[in-house]
Amino acid sequence: MRSFANRAIVWLFKILRAPVEREEEGGSGGFWPSSRQAFLWDLGPKSAAPGRDGLIPPAGPDVRWVDNLSGDAIEELLVAAKTAHDRALATAGATEAKASRLLTPTIALVVSSVALAGLVLQKAATQESMWYVILSVPASLAAIVFLISAVRSADADLRVGMYGSADSLSVLGIASEGRITVDGVPVVLPDGEAMKRAYLKSLLAARELANWTQRHKASAVMQARAWLSRGLVLFFCALVVTGVVVALPARLAPGSAPGRTTVEPAKVGPAGSVLTPPPAVSVAPTSPVVGPPPAPAPTSIPGTGSSTP
């Protein structure tokens, strides 16, 4: 079952144009896989990932002219080549440090964009309106763009580069008189200049590899910066939209909005007759009347036919 899953993933990677090996694309210029390809290789099984992280080094420089050097010329070029290689290594390290510094604020902006989108969506859930969902688009797009920038920065910082193996000969202890040490025992070389020429060629090739790695890492950093600039524009729009949404008053309950009339539906009685509600009767407030007391009613005396007040 596991082997079947691995084969399925490898087949899927081929469909997604992330091949397992790209040796044929190396040529003289080498091959540096994209961030998308490296990400897919990281997700897949070991059988789907190429060697050397997919890196194919370019063809080395033509250093046949070194064979014509001798004496002090080799010594001077060794110092110059070693200095140039060290500078190339330092430049590549500075590029990785810049990518690392760019990664930290980008992650913070991703979190901030997600928080803004969540705030607008929370308002949409409260108001039950699709307009608020549409207003969350700038913050959502900003989070996606910042995430792409973060991936580019991480790729430039963490991608394994090629810097050559120029120090493989220097650890042997090559001296100016052509001496090396093998297991602590000094050995005299028959031709010291030949070893120095080989070391010089190795330094020149290593400098080219370090410069090649630094160029690709610098390109990834510039792409990350470009995505960061796009994200900042979207983030500013999201801030404006979120400020407007938060400043809007809460929607009033149905029927309580000013200038809004609620019409009750007519009630239908038996046999389809429409029942109309009785008209409202307003009762005026009463107040006690203050005045002289009423006169007593006249009384009649029986048998006299007269009345007395």
Q: What is the pLDDT of residues 145-167, one digit of tens each?
A: 999 999 899 888 888 777 775 44
Return left, alpha or beta for 128; rule: phi > 0 is left, psi -120 to 50 is alpha, else beta.
Answer: left
- Domain definitions of the chain by residue range: 1-59, 72-247
What φ, ψ does residue 274 adopt, rounded to 5°?
Answer: -95, 125
Q: What whole-number distance in Å separates Cα of residue 178 and Cα of residue 300?
A: 163
Angle in degrees, CA 107, 109, 112, rounded to 5:
115
For residue 232, what pLDDT is reported? 94
In this predicted model, what pLDDT tens digit does every residue of 195-219 receive, in sequence order? Answer: 777 788 888 888 888 888 888 899 9
Q: How many CA atoms lie within 13 Å of 100's alpha carbon, on the beta-carbon side?
A: 9
Contact criterion met (CB below 8 Å) for 39 and 21 = no
DSSP 20: S
* CA separation for the pair 71, 243 (Å, rounded): 74
How far apart (Å, rounded) are the C-alpha atoms in residues 156 and 160? 9
CA 291 to chain centroid, in Å, comes to: 88
Spatial CB neighbours of 69, under 8 Å, sequence gap ≥ 6: 77, 197, 200
Instruction: Taking residues 181-187, report their average pLDDT.
Output: 53
Q: Which residues contact 186 (CB under 8 A, 6 or more apart)?
A: 179, 180
Best CA proximity match to 38, nearest among 140, 157, 146: 157
- What does the alpha-carbon distance between residue 69 and residue 29 come to, in Å, rounded to a whole number? 28
pLDDT in tens, 1-54: 556 656 665 555 554 444 443 444 444 667 888 877 777 777 777 777 777 777
Lookup: tokens for 58: 């370019």
Q: Which of 145, 140, 150 is nearest to 113 (CA)?
A: 140
Residues 101, 90: Cα–Cα separation, whole Å: 16
DSSP letter (8 states) at residue 270:
G
Q: What is the value of pTM for the model shown?
A: 0.63
- As a dihedral over the C-alpha atoms of residue 204, residue 210, residue 212, residue 213, rounded to 10 degrees, the angle is 160
